[in-house]
Amino acid sequence: MQDHLRPITIKSKRGCLRFAAVFSLWVGSIAPTAWAQSTPPVELPSQTPPIEDAAASLPKEALKCLGQGEEGRTERSPFGTVLKFACYKNGELNGQFMSWYEDGKLKQKGFMRAGHMVGRWTRWHANGKIQDRINWVNGKPQGKFRSYHPNGKTAILGEFKLGLKDGLWTEFDEQGRVQSKGRFLCDGKIGDWIEWDEEAEKSRAVEHPPVTPCSTFDRFDLLSFEAAGTLGFQTNFNWSGSFMLGWTPRFRITQNWAIGLFFGLRPERARFSEKDTFMATRALLRLEWNIMGSRRWIADLGFGGEGWGKDGEGGGLFRGAAHYVLDEPKFKVIDRFIASVSYMKYQPRSIIVTTLGAGIDL
């Protein structure tokens, strides 16, 4: 019994190796179920990303730099998923830019030029739904803006001018209820705002003081156009119809007053002229007024002239118009509807021209 309990003594290296081999055979002969019952399972870390890499499913040309001298670079997660692809030129971001969430879903997409964001950019929420779309000009947001909640409902409606909030802005909660609504000028709130009071659970009116325009250049609106159908009546009730397209740059004097120009062209087949058809050119100086401080209704008065033909035919012109400004642009570019009445005096007749059209803001 004592010999059986005596410790085993190994006196040589060869004996040590022989013992190790016998011990390993004995351990391997134990049933796997015995190990499973005595030791908990161990989960090894995954060596591959949990879902398919979205960038890998894109066409190869989507991850290429198309500009001359551009170099594409990618950033990847520890699992190898592409997180960002960008093009560089002379050390600056220049060309295509795309980024993804860690699970492989697209996060944002757009273009860079000399280190600045340009053109249309789109961003997505982590659930794959669109977050917002906005145009960028030299690194500054420009134009109409609309963002969405993760559930797809509208979150914000507004407009940027030269990178600053301008015009009517409205914020909504995830159920579509208005949280705030009012106007910005150079990133500052102006006039009366409707804001949701969380404690009182009701809307309240908040008045904000006037804001000085950021700079002289910010007072200009140069990318505004008008398209309208016209109907003219002579003093003897003959009539003519035409279509007019005009460029209407304006300069904002104060929050409620602006001065502008109108340069318009209209081909016309008229009964009040010796010519059957002609191209009329119209030029006006206009004064615009936000009626009673409202940004929805605008009145403008203008005077100038209209001429046609090589002989300098034409006459003086007086115009009055009413603008109905939309909260949200129709067809992405139409921001107002316009009705006007013009009186033109030329020898030997006078005519009244009515127009109904739309304002196009780019």
What's the average model confidence in pLDDT over 81-90? 89
pLDDT in tens, 117-151: 888 899 999 999 999 999 888 788 988 899 999 99
For CATH 2.40.160.20, list the domain ranges present in the chain.
217-361
Matching CATH number, 217-361, of 3.40.50.300, 2.40.160.20, 2.40.50.140, 3.40.50.620: 2.40.160.20
For CATH 2.20.110.10, list the domain ranges present in the chain.
54-208
| Statement: the pTM of the whole predicted model exceeds 0.75 | no
| Token pair belonging to 167 | 């015009």
Higher pLDDT, 196 or 88: 88
Q: What pLDDT sits at residue 277?
A: 59
Cis peptide before 348 (omega within 30 of 0): yes
| Token pair belonging to 333 | 């570019």
Where does 138-187 show beta strands of DSSP type E? 140-148, 154-161, 164-165, 167-172, 178-185
Instruction: Just give the CATH number of 54-208.
Output: 2.20.110.10
The burial class, CB within 10 Å (0-12 / 13-18 / 19+), for 68 is exposed
What's the average model confidence in pLDDT over 358-362? 79
Q: Work out the mean pLDDT of the chain and round it to a whole number.
A: 75
Rounded Cα gap, residues 70 and 62, in angstroms: 14
Q: What pLDDT sits at residue 293?
A: 60
